[in-house]
Amino acid sequence: MRYLHASLKRDLQRKMVLLAGPRQCGKTTLAQSLLDERGVYLNWDITKDRRVIRDLAWPKDASLLVLDELHKAPKWKNLLKGVADEYHNRPPVLVTGSAKLDAFRRTGDALTGRNYFYRLHPIDVAESKAFLPQLDLRSRLTRLLEAGGFPEAFLEPREAARLRNDRMELVTREDLRDLSRVSSWRGPADLVELLRERVRGPANYDNLAQTLGISPPTAKSWVELLEKLYLIFLLPPYSRSLSRSIRKDRKVYFFDCAAAYDETGGAQLENLVACCLLKFTQFRKDARGESWELFYLRDREGREVDFVVTQNRRVHWLIEVKASDEVVSPSLSYYSRKLSPKEAIQLVLNLDRPQERAGIKILPLAAWLEALS
């Protein structure tokens, strides 16, 4: 049972629910797990289902109506507005689809006040035990670093590379074309390969444009499209209460935490932590309405902290990620004094026992991430 199951079941009794997320992260499977014998599943891609959706001909006494891939329907938001206004959530409606659901939802106000919105993420360390309870924590973390957290790849790690390539090709060939006016998929596909070499680095549009032979505005628009399609996410710099010396570039991560081209493993490790933190902050916002945000911090003097997590605009965690170094990061110490977070934490992959030095907690990475639920 996925981590959103209980929250979706609760909120479906109140309003329509929209469920977005990366391709192949388990949205349809999760939606179908909520159906009982009186539930109805309709997929816009299936011709006979499409006719039922257009005619609003599903049984009105159904326990739950799931509308899959509905974002492909013309004026789908107006259709849902009409359903919400006429039937008043009888039956409850769950709308699932590709990441485009999130991108399209933000345009216009047809559904304002009529829905709850959730984002489903791939498997992380905290959720991995539910999928492979027979493996110990270290084995599950190693599998995430090698195969990523998309369910099929996580369960069949030998197929992970093939599944990843197929998923990225679908996004650049089909989803990108549907969402934008990009005439060729080859350029964005080359951009994806370039970004896989630059995980945890800045999204410098001038540099990307020069490498790809395109203009900086085009590079920026392609990166933003990949973000809307939930292939990548971009972390903004934390700058509140700090001087203008803070660097402004956003850092690039993939929703597939094993996507980076990285011989040392450092990029995969940081990407995994980024995925876990983003999943945590977005769940707290989607399910509880709490105000959590995720940033990074880097100034012009070269001081950098991997992650800044805020709650209600105040710094809750400063987090540095290390493979094996128990020596406290000087940058983490500096910004811990400057920002006074609730906790300053150095997460270390290879660490025997927790430590604390000068107010900085040095903690085993896997155990801390497993508790982040």
pLDDT-derived band at 72 (thresholds 50, 70, 90) equals confident
Flag the least confident range among 92-101, 250-259, 266-275, 313-322: 92-101
pLDDT recorded at residue 78: 87
Tell whether pTM > 0.75.
yes
C-beta neighbour count of 234 within 10 angstroms:
15
Question: For 121-175, what is the HEC assignment?
Answer: CCCCHHHHHHHCCCCCHHHHHHHHHHHCCCHHHHHCHHHHHHHHHHHHHHHHHHH
Domain 5-119 has CATH 3.40.50.300: yes
pLDDT recorded at residue 164: 97
Domains of the chain by residue range: 5-119, 125-370
d(CA 282, CA 102) in angstroms, rounded, equals 13
Residue 223: is its pLDDT beyond 80?
Answer: yes
Here the tokens at position 12 are 């479906």
pLDDT recorded at residue 142: 97
CA diameter of the chain: 66
Residues 6+ apart with CB under 8 A from 319: 273, 277, 305, 306, 307, 308, 309, 345, 346, 347
pLDDT recorded at residue 65: 98
pLDDT recorded at residue 241: 66
The residue count for the chain: 373
The share of the chain scoring above pLDDT 90, in percent, equals 78
pLDDT recorded at residue 100: 65
d(CA 127, CA 373) in angstroms, rounded, equals 8
pLDDT recorded at residue 88: 87
pLDDT in tens, 198-212: 999 999 999 999 999
State which H helix or E strand residue 16 sits in. strand 16-20
Residue 309: is its pLDDT beyond 70?
Answer: yes
